[in-house]
Amino acid sequence: MYSYCCYLLLSLLLGHFASAQVFEKGFTFVKDRKAVTLPFKLVNNLIILPVFVNGSDTLHFILDTGIKTALLTSLGESDSLSLHTVKKVTIQGWGDGEALTAWQSYGNTFNFSDAYIGKNIEMYVLESDIFSLSTKLGMKVHGLIGYDFFKDCIVEIDYDNRWLKLHNRKKFKHKKLKGTALPFALESGKPYIQVRLTQADSSQVALKLVVDTGASHSLSLDMLSSTAIKLPEKTIDSYLGKGMSGDIRGKIGRVQQLHIANYDLKDLTASYPDSVYTRNVAGLAQRNGSLGSDILRRFHVYLDYAQQKMWLSPNKKFDEPFNYNMSGIDVYTPYPNLPCYIISDIAENSPAKEVGLQPNDQLLYINGTSVADLSLDEIVTLFNSKQGKKITITVKRNETTVKKTIVLKRTI
C-alpha cells in the first residue's frame, strides 16, 4: 500500500482545486474513429484488458458489466498511480465480513490503446486487496471497469478470437447486426434481462438477471428474491468466491434449461449463495441473480447501452457442456506471472481428498508436464474438463515429493 499512500496524500492536498472545476466526462474515440479493436486475455472466462490510468504504466482491468463505478483493487510494489480528487468512503456488498473502507477518486483518465480514452472517470480505490485477483487468475490484475466503458459506444465481444470491437455509435449501422436482439433494462449502470428457467424439478420460473461479464460462473440465483426459485435436490457445498465484504459460500447444483432470447441452454450449473452472504447487497430484492460469462462466452455479443439492447449469436462453444471443478482442488499462485502453484483448498468427498492431496501442497508436474509450462488457467481448465479423466499430479509437501492419480468425478 506504499504507492497508494504517497499518491493519495498528494491528491487530497490538490482535491479542493480539481473539484471546483467542470470537465468533460466520458469516453471518446480519438480522431472520431469509426471503430477500435482491442485484443484481450480470457482467463477463467473473464475479459482482461490492458489500460493506462492517469499516465501509468500498463495496468490490467477486468471488463465487468456487473459494476457501475470502476474499482482499483490492488497495486504491486513496482506499480505506481497518481489519483485525483479523493475522499474516504465506506462500501458494503456481498460477503460475510464488515463494510470496506475505500477512497473515492474523481477526474481520472483511462486510455485504451491510445484510441478510446475516458476523461474524468470516477473510481473507487480499495485500501486492501480483498479480492486477491492476481493470485487467483495467475497474472497481475489491478481492477475492474464497467458502465463507463460501455455507455459511450457499442461493444462487440468475440470470445472465440478474444477481441473487442468498440463501435462509434455515430457511425454504426445497426442493420448489419447479426443474431437475436434482446432488450435489457439499464438500472444503476447495470444491464438486466428477462429469461425463463426450467429447474431441476421441471418447474419453470421467469427471472430477472443482471448480465455480468465480471462473473466466471454460468448462473447465480438468489433464493431470497423469489419463493419460486428452488434448490436442486442434488447439490454440493462450495466456496463461491469473494465479494466486497468477504467470502461467499453456498451450494452448486444443476438446472434443466435456460431460455434466453431464442436460444435454449441445457443442463447448466447454477450457484445458490447462502443468505447470510447476500444480506447487505443493495437492490437484491429487484433481481433474481446474475447471468455470468460461462454463458456469455458461448455467444458473439453486442451491447448497446444507449438503446438498451444486446444481440446474441451462438459461437462454436455453444454446445460445450457446463462443467465445474471435478477434482476438488482449488489452486492459487503467490507470485502472479510466475509458474508457482499452491493448493489452497481441498473439497470434502472429492477425488483429491480421497487420494490424500492436501492444502499447501505445491504442484510440480501434471500428467508428466512441468507446471513451468502451464498457466493457472490451463490447470483450472484441466480440472474442469471431463468426467472419468485420469490426472497424475506430483506435488512438493514440505521436503517430500508426493505423486497421486485422481479421476475426475461429476458429483452433481
Residues 6 or more apart in contact with residue 31 via CB below 8 angstroms: none
Q: Are 295 and 221 contacting, i.e. CB atoms less than 8 angstroms apart?
A: no
State the burial class of residue 76 (Cβ atoms within 10 Å of its Cβ: 0-12, 13-18, 19+).
middle
Which residues 6+ apart lie within 8 Å of 208 measured at CB?
A: 192, 193, 194, 286, 287, 288
Q: Is the pLDDT of residue 322 over 80?
A: yes
Q: Tell me which range, 9-13, 193-197, 332-336, 345-349, is most confidently predicted by mean pLDDT.
A: 193-197
pTM of the model: 0.89
- CATH top class, domain 329-407: mainly beta
Could you read off the pLDDT of 122-177 as tens digits, one per residue? 999 988 888 889 999 999 999 999 999 999 999 999 999 999 999 999 999 887 78
What percent of the chain clears pLDDT 70, i.e. is strictly above it?
A: 88
Which of the pair, 61 or 78, is modelled with greater confidence?
61
Residue at grid coordinates 492517469: 54
C-alpha cell at 287: 433481481
Instruction: Report the DSSP pairing between strands 185-187 and 116-126.
Output: unpaired
> Could you give the residue range(s) of every CATH 2.30.42.10 domain in the chain?
329-407
pLDDT-based confidence at 37, cuts 50/70/90?
A: very high
Q: What is the pLDDT of residue 2?
A: 28
Task: Give 210-265 pLDDT, tens digit per residue.
Answer: 999 999 999 999 999 999 999 999 998 877 776 655 677 889 999 999 999 999 99
Confidence of residue 51 (pLDDT cuts 50, 70, 90): very high
Q: Which SS3 state, helix, strand or coil, does residue 338 take? A: coil
pLDDT of residue 19: 39
* CATH code for residues 176-314: 2.40.70.10
Scan for cell 434482446, then name that residue. Answer: 182
pLDDT band at 332 (very low <50, low <70, confident <90, very high): very high
Residue 246's pLDDT is what? 62
In this prediction, residue 9 carries a pLDDT of 31
Cell numbers 438446472 correspond to: 255
Count CB atoms within 10 A of the CB of residue 292: 24
Please give the grid coordinates belonging to residue 126: 480499495
Query: Which residues sit opposite 123 in a β-bridge?
Result: 70, 105
3 state DSSP class of 327: coil
Phi, psi of 145 (to 5 degrees): -140, 140
Contacts of 112 (CB under 8 A, 6+ apart): 36, 38, 49, 50, 51
Determine the Cα–Cα distance for residues 35 and 178; give it in Å rounded to an integer: 17
Q: Residues 330-355: what's their mean pLDDT?
A: 92
List the CATH code of the domain at 2-169.
Answer: 2.40.70.10
Q: Is 3 helix (H, G, I), strand (E, B) or coil?
A: helix
The overall longest dimension of the chain from CA atoms, in Å, is: 64
Digit-coded pLDDT (tens) for 94-128: 545 566 778 899 999 999 999 999 999 999 998 88
Q: What is the dihedral of CA 46, 47, 51, 54, to 10 degrees?
A: -60
Give span(s): CATH 2.40.70.10, the chain: 2-169, 176-314
pLDDT tops 50 at residue 382: yes
